[in-house]
Structure 1
C-alpha cells in the first residue's frame, strides 16, 4: 500500500529501520529518513547518489554500466557493435568511425517493439492458444460421445445373439474402450503440451510487462521476446473414429460373423490452426476473438410449465428440449419451440427432487435430499447411482469428463462439502481451504447449486454465505463473489441458480434483486440481466449460449439472448 494514499501502512527507513521514510536514493534503490541521508551518501563515495523525495522515487533513469570501464554509465549506443558505450569508450579508438545513437532513443525503440510484441501476445497469440485448447477439449468430448454411440451399436447388435456370444461382445467393447482411451490419452498429451505453451506465453508476457515498467535500462536490454517462436502453432490432431461393421447372424464362425472393428488413428493437419486476428479483411469483415455481450438482452420466448406451487430449476437436454422441476415430485420435459409437455417422470421415492442436471450422454440426473440418493433416469427408468450415509445430497452437475459433482449437507446440518463421483466411486472431496476453514456455509434452509466452468473451475452458489464460491480443479479456492453495487433492487445479494457459457462467464440468479449477475472466470463483474424476471431461480445455457431462467412465482421458463 502506498504511504502517499494511506496512513495505515508506514514504510520505515532501510538503514535505521525505525524512522518513517522521507527520501529515496534512485541510484541504490534505498529508502531513507532525513537523518540517514548523510550516512548513506558517504557509505559508497564511488557512486553518484541521486537522493530525491520519496514521492519522486524512480525519477532518475539508471543507465547501463559499461562492461569495459568499471563504474562508468553508458549514455550512447554503438549501432555497429550493438552495445552501450560510455565516454571513455568514445575517447578510445575502439568505436572510431562507428555510427552512434543516444541510448535513450535506442531504449525508446526497444520499448516500442516489446510493447508491440506484448499487444500481439495479449490480443492474438494467447487467445489463439486458448481457442486451440478449447478445440482439443471439444474433440475429446465429441470422441467420448461417438465412442459411446459405437458401444451402443455393438450392444444392440449383441442383443440379437444368445448367451454364448456374450464373451465376444464384452471383448469387442473392451477393444473400443482401449482405442478410446488410447486416443484420449493422445489428445490429453496434446492438450498438456498446449497448456504448457500457454503457460510459457504468460511467463513471456509477465517478463515483458516487468521490463516495460522498470526504470533499469539494463534489465530492459536483457528482455528478448519470443513472439515468432510461438507463431509456429501446434499440429491439429483429428481422431479417425473406428466403425463397427455388423454381419448377419449365422450359427458358424460366430467371431467372424458378429462383426469387426476398423482401426482407429489420428490424422495430423499442421496447418489446421491459424493465428486469430481482430483486423478486418475485405471479404469477411471483422473476426472477433470472443462473443460479445449484447447491450440490451432480449427475451426470445417464455414457456409456461404448469407447476402448481413454485418452479425451482431448469436443465437443457438439447437446444430444443428442457427438463424442469418444482415443489413436487414430478420432473417435466418440455419442447422449447412448441412450449408443450413431452414427458413426465415421478421420483422413485415420491419425494421432491433437490436438483436436476443432464449428463454428457443426455440422461437426466437428480438428487433426492430426503432419500439420500443421486439417481439417473435412462429410458424412463430410474437407476440409483449413489446412496449416502450421514450426508444428504443437494446440488448436482455433470462435468466435461462425465463425472458428477454433488453438494451435500451433513445430517446435523453443520457441514457442507462438494464430492466428485465417477459412477458411484468417490474421487475427490472439497470442503476446506488452505487454512482448514470451511469453503461453504453450514446448512440452514439455504440453497446450494453447482456447475463446472470451461476452465474446469468448480462454481458453487452458496445461498447461506450469500456468495459464489469458485475453486479450481484441485479444490483450491480461487475467489468469492459477493455481489455488485448498486444492485437493481438495492437488496442484499441472494444467489441461487448458477451456470456458465462458452466464454467461461459465470452467471448466477439473484433472487432478491430479480436479475442475473454475469462475472468473468476470475470473478470480475461484467453486467446484469433483468428482462423483467420474476423470482429467478435455477438456470441453464444451451449450446448457442441462450440463457434459460426458471421463474419461481409465475412458474415460467424464460429464454434470453444476451450474447452475439
Structure 2
C-alpha cells in the first residue's frame, strides 16, 4: 500500500500544491514518508517536507509554512504571467507585425517595380516601332532617289544607243550605194556625228544607306533598357533614431574613440595624448583625465577594466578599475613569425575572448612588407591564427592606403563572407569613408562615413538597410561610435577647434 501511495504521489509536489485554490490547500502525503502529510517548505532545499523529514535532515534549514510558500508561489506565477502577457507577448506580436509589414512593403515594391519594368518594355516597344518606321522611310527615300537617278541615266543611254544604231544602219546601207552624191552626204554626216560623239561614263550611285546593327552586349542593353540595383524599401525604416538628441561639447579637437563599459564612458585623443573617463548627463562631466598617453585603440570590459593599445607598442595594456598604473595584458614579440607585430585595434566578443587586429612589419633588405591580421586571444593567453571564435562572425573595418575602404565579414574559418564598399548616393562627392563600426543588439551593423557625414546601416548579411544623413541632425565629421546597454548610440566627432561634439541618439524599432 505504501509503495502504491508513493507511486501515486511521486509526481505531486510544489507544482500541484500551488495550483490549489487559495482558500483551502489539499492535503498531500510525503513521498519519502507516506504516512505523514507535507506541512512545511524548506527554503534551502526548495522542497515541501513533512515533520519526519524535518527531524531527519532539515533541522537547521530555513523553513516556512506551506500557506506562506503557497502565497509566495502564486505571486511568482502572477508576476511571471504579467511579464508574459504584458511584455513578452506584445514584443513577439510587435516583431511579427514588423515582418508582416515588411512582407506587405516587399509585395508593394515587387508590384511597383514590375509595373515600371513592364511600362519601360511598352515604351521601348513603341520607341522601337517608331524608330523602325523612321528607318524604313529613310531607306525608302534613299532607294527612290537612287532609282530616279538610275532610270534617268538609263533613258539617256537608251537614246544614245538608238542614235548609234541608226548611224550604224546608215553606214551599212550606203557602203553599197553607187550614188556618189548621197554617199558623200551621208559619209560627211556620219563622220561629224562620230567625231562629235563623246565617250563618257555616267557616275554610278554607289552610296546608299545601310542598316548597322548595334551590339547585343548585355551592358549596353542594360544602359538602354535599365537594370535592377540595390535600393531601400520606402517607409521601412525599422531602425530609426529619435530626432531629439543630446549633444555635449568636449575640450578636445577630435573624439578619436568612444568605449563604454558597465557604467563608464571613455574617450581619447591620440595627438593630444589624452584619455578621459566621462559622464553624460545634463552636461558632460570629466571623472578622470590621464595625460601623456598616446592610445591607438581601447575597449572597456564589463568588469570596469580598460584594455589599451598604445601607438607603436607591441604590448596590450590593461588598466584595472580604481588603479592608475597599467599592467601588461598581452605581448606580441618579434619571434612570432619573425616579424615586428603591433596591435592596431581591439574588441571583446560575447564569450569574453579578445579580438585584436595587428600590423606585421617584416624586415627585408631595402624594404619593409606590412600585412594585416586578426588574432583571437584565448583565456590562457595563447594566440591562435584564426579570425573569429566559434560563435560570432567578425566585421573588420579596413582602411588601406591604396584601394577602396570597406567593411569585411569573416567567418570562423577565416573565409570572407562579404565585403561592403558603400553605395551610390546622389550628390555624394567623396568615396565611402568609414571611420568606426558597431553592432546593435539585433545584429545590425552601423558604420559612420566621415567625409560624407552619413550612417550606413547593414544587416548581418551585409545588405544595406538604410543610409541616414547626419547633417540634418546637426552632426558633422563623425569619427567614433559606441553603443550603450539601452540601445543608445554615442557618436564622437571632429572639429577644427577644441570643442569637438559628442552626440547621443536613441536607437529604437519603428512600431
Q: TM-score range by the shorter chain?
A: 0.3 to 0.5
| Structure number with larger C-alpha Rg | 2
Return the structure number with greater helix share.
2
TM-score, structure 1 normalization? 0.43
TM-score, structure 2 normalization? 0.47
Larger RCO of the pair (alpha carbons < 8 Å, separation 6+): 2
